[in-house]
Amino acid sequence: MNKVLRIGTRDSQLAVWQATLVQEQLKNNGIATELVYMKSDGDVDLVTPLYEIGVQGIFTKTLDAALLSNRIDLAVHSMKDVPTQLAKGIQQAAVLERASYKDILVLKNELSDISDALGIVNGEWSMLNNESLTIDHSRLTIATSSIRRKAQWLNRYPNHTLENLRGNVNTRLRKVSESNWDGAIFAAAGLERIGLRPENSIELDWMLPAPAQGAIMIVCREDDHETKTALGLLNDPATALCTCIERDFLKTLLGGCATPISALAEWKDGFVTFRGHILSVDGKEKMETSFHKAALQCGDLGRKAAEDLLARGADKIVNAIRNAGA
């Protein structure tokens, strides 16, 4: 390839880190690039909760417009932020190998101060709806802007208070230290990638992630075959398959990323294990599904998993979510 590829990225620290990773991988394959920095609507409005803004595509549409107007050649996104239906004229070109998919709780103080309220015994999370889960009734206050995280937290801890948390990673971490909250929920990959994961944090092993959480997607124009071929060198097939399954699950159920829908597909020894669920916004209702199939037979696994939930009555939860957002 003779031309210098223009890489579009948001100008947040995490977004730039991700774009630089792509730049380095392309350089290793002999492809020259330059970074083009942009600010999305989601970066400008740091106060309004994402689910009130109309979050679908809020972090991607600025870069989509730049791609379609030929101001950049490719864009790098946190995959969980990308709408399940890409803009017309734009295609998925590669998915990098996935980092941690987990959510973590960053604590205001020490874990020992609130371990009883969280049901943590000997450093381990107790099982929900199990006799081993014994929690006190302290009304902890936890911060997050994610409707998915809120629903899962309220399902487990209905007596807790959830507060909105917006801003870039550095701003959100500062708010935790300055607030009277007991903790805030973050994506592990985001903090770990830029070396900001605090020591006083704990993985939420019981919390199922957003579809494609921890993965990085690269997109380009549909008619730019040269760039698509170059980016294909970076694609990780296992991550691409697993995230496709998760996003198909989301798309079949509802379609938007600002929903209490979670999914995780994991590839091991030629098989894919899938877990997914949908909750009501208040966390009171929850429906789950899971599958274990050979990877070669998983092309429509996400859709079938969603259809399994819908056949068992998940459409009532879906309709309630749609009506709440109307």
Catalytic annotation, residues: 81
Sheet with 271-279: strands ordered across: 261-268, 271-279, 286-294
Pairing of strands 183-187, 103-107: antiparallel
B/e letters for 26-46, b = 16+ CB within 10 Å, e = fewer, are: beeeebebebbebebebbeee
- Start-end of H helices in the chain: 13-28, 41-44, 50-53, 61-68, 111-118, 147-156, 169-178, 188-193, 225-231, 237-253, 301-309, 315-325
**Token output for 263:** 């999914």
**DSSP-derived 3-state class of residue 148:** helix
Residue 61 CB neighbour total at 10 angstroms = 15
